[in-house]
Structure 1
Amino acid sequence: MASKYKARITKKARSDLKEILKYSYRNHGEEMALEYNKLINSSIELLEKDPFRPGSKERNEIASTMRSYHMRLAKEVVNSTIKSPRHMVFYFTADKNKLIISRVLHDARDHVRTMKEIRDEVMKKAKAPERQTPKKERQS
């Protein structure tokens, strides 16, 4: 089945993924880091096919369009060798076919607080007045 949505991964999510894979490599070795990377990619591919797939959850406490998907659910679908995936993908859909991966966070983390901080940061930037460029004085 072709993907209905095309994922775009935010800078914060890319940073999350980099840290997750570094941690996995340091603590579990190269083979497990590669396997975890496959599971991450499989999770995103599953969400591209159906962002509202069974097991995905509305996260209205974070933002009205935010959803999450625990990677353990992808493990069951793709038969990964990772015993206990501990990360959740936080995302939302935009336009007709865009899937925005906002963060990938450990399931023990305070997701609501973390995501609200990001939302507040985005809102603050959106409300900040644009810098005014000084008008040139008329020459007589």
Structure 2
Amino acid sequence: MPQPILFVLNGPNLNLLGVREREVYGHDTLADVEAACRAEADAAGLDLRFHQTDAEHELIGWIQEARTGAAGIVINPAAFSYAGYPIYDALKMCDCPIIEVHISNLHRRDEAWRANSIMTAAATGIISGLGTHGYALAVRHIARLRAG
């Protein structure tokens, strides 16, 4: 019997973690984030699909793939958080838990518009401001939901 699939999806510029704005996003790379998520998923018996893209249509394709039957979605939509209505619409069609993750605390950022993620209305829960550790917590939470 195949393992349930957990999708961890990352939006634009997150491929540059560890390089860009370290004072905001820290020193961990996206490979570090993937390794932490994979360790949590493996411990919970989940198959992990980990993706990053700068292209909205790719993100939508992965969400549609996860739409039915996935264990859950952990998503950091990054800048799509503020203008990615097609992504929001795709998330609303999902029958699995969705945890929105942001590395920085959106409500403490200098730009006020960052506090208004449109994805939040489609998410089961949100983790914001816990650094890259928020990803592993989101994976652990979805595993806990599956365990009952």
Q: What TM-score, normalized by structure 2, do the two folds share? A: 0.30
**Rg larger in 1 or in 2?**
1
